[in-house]
Amino acid sequence: MTTEWTNDRAIAQWGTMPRALLEQTARDGDFAKRHLLNPVLLRMLGNLPGLRVLDAGCGNGYLSRMLAGRGAQVTGVEPGQSLFGFATEQEAVAPLGIRYVQADLCGLPGLGAPFDTVVASMVLPAIPDWAGAMRACVQVLRPGGLFVFTVNHPCFEQLWPVWREHGEYRTRRYLAEYEIPGPSGTDFHRTLSAYLNKLIALGCQVTELAEPGLDPEAAAGGPEGIVAARRAA
């Protein structure tokens, strides 16, 4: 349960992600990101040239680089040591004008002027104090700014092991909060209503909820959920 977890403990786990994995996903993420998330994220983020964008929990920086390559002025925040080190190294090798800051979203230093857009892709489920992190993402937005976040769809997070065991999808304990250990770090299951009600309590207007599925010809994988919201003007 998340009560036994601190942000620091979670960050320490994520921050040991091996270099081979960071390299494998450096261009456009993993299979799910390539086929499910990136196309919808880019559509939701819209016209990027000149916009100040925060990539909150940017990991190895693949999305920061994609957004900077499309003209955004990107700041990437990442607390995990190996991920932050890899992202800054990529920027040194092929500069795109991305500023990386090593920090916990719940303890952000000043990042300058408010952002037009904040994107947090697959990050909130990795954070014990996810509500504090979401609050921080909204607080650094300009009024009317866009916040887009992605999470594994909480109905389908453990698709593959459940499929292997039962030959069909089964969802258990949907309403409870529990941890999901992963190869690179721990995620936490939370309901969609937890995320959406917090967003509404922060004064955001939900503008779109997407549940993209794979094209039939794409190989196996799990549907994920993407939410876009605007900070109140």
Name the site residues for ligand SAM (rule: CB under 6 A): 7, 10-11, 14, 29, 57-59, 62-63, 78-80, 83, 104-106, 121-123, 126-127, 133
Encoded amino acid at 180, one letter: I
223: left (phi over 0), alpha (psi -120 to 50) or beta: beta
Residues 210-219, buried b or exposed e (16+ Cβ, 10 A)? bebeeeeeee
Query: What is each CA distance from 75 to 99, 116, 132, 172, in whole angstroms?
Result: 5, 12, 19, 38
Residue 168 C-beta: closest distance to ligand SAM, Å: 26
- Pick 20 or 233: Cβ nearer ligand SAM: 20
What angle is formed at CA 27 by the lines to CA 192 and CA 89, rounded to 5 degrees? 105
Give the whole-angstrom CA distance, residue 200 versus residue 100: 29
- Pick 151 or 204: Cβ nearer ligand SAM: 151
Q: Please give the residue whose beta carbon sits closest to ligand SAM in the complex.
A: 59
Residue 124 C-beta: closest distance to ligand SAM, Å: 9
Residue 217 C-beta: closest distance to ligand SAM, Å: 24
- Pick 59 or 154: Cβ nearer ligand SAM: 59
- Pick 9 or 170: Cβ nearer ligand SAM: 9
Residue 224 C-beta: closest distance to ligand SAM, Å: 11
- Pick 86 or 116: Cβ nearer ligand SAM: 86
Residue 10 C-beta: closest distance to ligand SAM, Å: 5
- Pick 52 or 150: Cβ nearer ligand SAM: 150
Residue 122 C-beta: closest distance to ligand SAM, Å: 4
